[in-house]
Structure 1
Amino acid sequence: MSATEPGRLMFAEMTEQPAVLRRLLEQGAPRVADVAWQIAERRPRFVLLTGRGTSDNAALYAKYLLEVRLGLPCGLTSMSTTTAYEAKPDLRDCLVIAVSQSGGSPDLVASTTAAREGGAITLAVTNNPDSPLARASEYAIDVLAGPERALPATKTYTAELLALYLFVVALGGGDGTAAARPLPELAERVLARRDEVRQLAARYRFAERMVLTSRGYGYPTAREAALKLMETSYVPALAYSGADLLHGPLAMVDNVFPVIAIVTGGRGGDALRPVLDRLTDRGADLMVVGPERALAGASAGFALPTDDLDEELAPILEIIPLQLLAYEVTRARGQDPDAPRALAKVTETH
């Protein structure tokens, strides 16, 4: 790829993901485990997660992990309660996790500061260990993704997911590195199938709207993929839990309405099956991303090599072909994935 070709930064950073995952497993895992053990000794009773954009989707993934693996009640923070309304919550016995690529957004820093003042245990998960957010937090985890120059976040998202997985497993007294060890090689295999994704992208070159859906651990992937499509190609893309899709929005789906379903290999995929059947009955243009067996009956699909991977880890691979899809759709529409309009690397919300 030439130095002037549109999307070169986004593409380069997508291809760095296997190396980033490997670095986090080999170099970052001990620090992640140490932080988790220190927090575990303080026995938090519930967890609040904070993030914006891509990092908010990573936080949602952590919410599933914490609730399913550890049985800890979790919520996603409404930051405006402390920033705009100046509420003073009592957060004793609460773990507050702020997830941010840059660690520089003022509202994240302010809400984390307020949480710490309210008695919370605070943890920053960020790609910038020297950021204001990391300094405002009692504990910090560096996701070790390296400098990110492209505006659409790719490698930092998968690094956040892996860091959060390792943290949650260690918080429960386990070690997640063995289960996660296959991820770098599997990510390389997915990235090598760019031509396959480019052919899929041709289906959506002229799409005016799209829906993405999943259940369980796959739902954050649907949200992140929708965000990538919107911020790079400007295609309005709506992400719904499969259950929510059936409660009304299904009515807008017809035979010219593209739907992308992310099907995990475990209970989330089983829960999504009735939704896929309803979509097929409506004649939807349905693309499935998931294990080979999940593609039956779909209009198109991308088979993931996740048969031997825990359902909890599948999202780290699921998003990669969808990042590539957003990139290829944007290129096909004559736009530059590296230059989304109206975006900045650090979004300064207050």
Structure 2
Amino acid sequence: MTTPGHLMAAEIAEQPTVLAHILSSYDAHLSPVLARLRAHDTRSVLLVARGTSDHAAIYAKYLIETRLGLPVGLVSTSTYTAYDAQAHLDGVVWIAVSQSGGSPDLVESTEKARAAGALTIALTNADGSPLEAAAELRLPMLAGVERSVAATKTYTASLQWLWLLVEGWAGGSLDAAAGVPDWVAGALDRPEVSEVASRYRFVERLVTTSRGFAYPTARESALKLMETCYLSAHAFSGADLLHGPLAMIDEDRPVVVICPDGAGGRALQPVLEQLDARGADVCLVAPPEVTATSAARIPLPSGMIEQLAPIAQVVPLQQLALQLALSRHYDPDRPRGLQKVTKTT
């Protein structure tokens, strides 16, 4: 008999090793992609993904807009599949992100985008996947086989690859990523995670929020809590939270705030003030540089670069989902009714 959650726990723990492997071996895979991008007359970028990979795509959107100054959109795949729209994609770079590379809607839309003139790139964790075959260029996640239904190491591997891709495309130094494996190792096994899991064991509703590069972390954390713990978790950007959803916040609906050290953290200060005024039960996920009042806190490593910090930010929240699920006697490796590969059309 296997122990519930053992796959998810092992894959969370593997992340520093996976990220170090990517950083030691990316050049051979990335160099031909960067050469093609630099020769391409790019006017805009489209990102296509589902589920956890969609949150990685949102992270890439922030990177591309801030580092490259290009307009970026998230693809509605039904435009190409259900509605059979005829797109004109000359000058477009199309980046498809998928752990499995097997979702039919991603494959079909990428095939159509390539035929419509887009330069297509597939980032997948499965060699020889249909999505790889559909795209002109390929990047391997190099995360190793992921067996738990809840994606963990493929998410952080995707973030690492997307940062390398965008920073390399922008002509920046990739040396800044050297500290990432150590940051992730420092975010593992924080005792405060167990305390927060105990605090929220019987919670049925929860909100996650952040701004900027950390906003995808809020979305990914909410997804992990939903799929492993079966609670109602809603993710909002801090700006959107203040535009209406704040009305539902009270002391009975905890709010997990991922607060980076940087512009995104400064943008969150009015949100933290409003949450404090409402008496909200706030769990602050932040490095020691961030000072704010909260009912609970999960500390993150100090000195992280804001653009790269999401790779480490999500790790204690993955462990929170794991520990909270186990405390409720669920097996997060096998969420009810879910499969590792979701076949959307």
TM-score of the alignment, normalized to the shorter chain, above 0.5: yes
Hey, what's the Cα distance between the residues in 2 that align with 1:266 and 1:30?
A: 33
Secondary structure of 1:312's counterpart equals coil
| 1:117-266 superposed matches below 5 A | 117-176=115-174, 178-193=175-190, 195-266=191-262
Secondary structure of 2:308's counterpart equals helix
Hey, what's the Cα distance between the residues in 1 that align with 2:344 and 2:18?
A: 28
Secondary structure of 1:244's counterpart equals helix
Greater Cα offset, 195-204 or 265-274: 195-204
Hey, what's the Cα distance between the residues in 2 that align with 1:196 and 1:277?
A: 23
Q: 1:319 aligns with which of 290, 310, 314?
A: 314
Maintained 8 Å contact 2:187/2:313? no
Hey, what's the Cα distance between the residues in 2 that align with 1:244 and 1:147?
A: 37
C-alpha deviation, 1:293, in angstroms: 3.5
Secondary structure of 2:326's counterpart equals helix
Aligned residues: 345
C-alpha deviation, 1:37, in angstroms: 2.6
Hey, what's the Cα distance between the residues in 2 that align with 1:93 and 1:120?
A: 6
Determine if the alignment matches structure 1 residue 36 to structure 2 residue 34. Answer: yes
C-alpha deviation, 1:48, in angstroms: 0.3
- Counterpart in the other structure of 2:323: 328
Cα deviation per residue 1:264-291 (whole Å; 9 max; x = unaligned)? 1110111011101100110000001111
Determine if the alignment matches structure 1 residue 349 to structure 2 residue 344. Answer: yes
Secondary structure of 1:260's counterpart equals strand
Would the alpha carbon gap of residues 205 and 97 (structure 1) be closer, same or farther in structure 2, given more than 3 Å must change? same
Cα deviation per residue 1:121-165 (whole Å; 9 max; x = unaligned)? 000011113100011000010010000110000000000000000
C-alpha deviation, 1:29, in angstroms: 3.7
Structure 2: which amino acid aligns with 1:187? Answer: V
Would the alpha carbon gap of residues 322 and 61 (structure 1) be closer, same or farther in structure 2, given more than 3 Å must change? same
What is the percent sequence identity of the aligned residues?
53
Determine if the alignment matches structure 1 residue 287 to structure 2 residue 289. Answer: no
- Counterpart in the other structure of 1:271: 267
Hey, what's the Cα distance between the residues in 1 that align with 2:62 and 2:169?
A: 14
Would the alpha carbon gap of residues 27 and 332 (structure 1) be closer, same or farther in structure 2, given more than 3 Å must change? same
Secondary structure of 1:196's counterpart equals helix
Hey, what's the Cα distance between the residues in 1 that align with 2:245 and 2:257?
A: 15
Secondary structure of 2:76's counterpart equals coil
Greater Cα offset, 199-208 or 311-320: 199-208
Secondary structure of 2:282's counterpart equals strand
Structure 2: which amino acid aligns with 1:337? Answer: P
Structure 1: which amino acid aligns with 2:176? Answer: A
Would the alpha carbon gap of residues 269 and 33 (structure 1) be closer, same or farther in structure 2, given more than 3 Å must change? farther
TM-score, normalised to structure 2, is 0.98
Hey, what's the Cα distance between the residues in 1 that align with 2:250 and 2:239?
A: 18
Hey, what's the Cα distance between the residues in 2 that align with 1:290 and 1:181?
A: 21
Cα deviation per residue 1:35-81 (whole Å; 9 max; x = unaligned)? 12321211311000000000000000000000011101000000000
Maintained 8 Å contact 1:128/1:142? yes
Hey, what's the Cα distance between the residues in 2 that align with 1:29 and 1:17?
A: 20
Hey, what's the Cα distance between the residues in 2 that align with 1:96 and 1:136?
A: 12
Maintained 8 Å contact 1:295/1:303? no
Hey, what's the Cα distance between the residues in 1 that align with 2:214 and 2:148?
A: 25
Structure 2: which amino acid aligns with 1:188? Answer: A
C-alpha deviation, 1:235, in angstroms: 0.7
Would the alpha carbon gap of residues 295 and 340 (structure 1) be closer, same or farther in structure 2, given more than 3 Å must change? farther
Maintained 8 Å contact 1:92/1:118? yes
Maintained 8 Å contact 1:151/1:338? yes
Secondary structure of 1:289's counterpart equals strand
5+ long unaligned stretches in structure 1 = none
TM-score, normalised to structure 1, is 0.97
Maintained 8 Å contact 1:40/1:172? no
Structure 2: which amino acid aligns with 1:313? Answer: L
Hey, what's the Cα distance between the residues in 1 that align with 2:76 and 2:65?
A: 19
CA RMSD of aligned residues (A): 1.0
Would the alpha carbon gap of residues 306 and 117 (structure 1) be closer, same or farther in structure 2, given more than 3 Å must change? farther
Cα deviation per residue 1:243-268 (whole Å; 9 max; x = unaligned)? 00000000000112100001111101
Hey, what's the Cα distance between the residues in 2 that align with 1:52 and 1:142?
A: 17
Cα deviation per residue 1:276-311 (whole Å; 9 max; x = unaligned)? 11001100000011112425311111111142x211
- Counterpart in the other structure of 2:54: 56
Cα deviation per residue 1:217-241 (whole Å; 9 max; x = unaligned)? 0100000000000000001100000
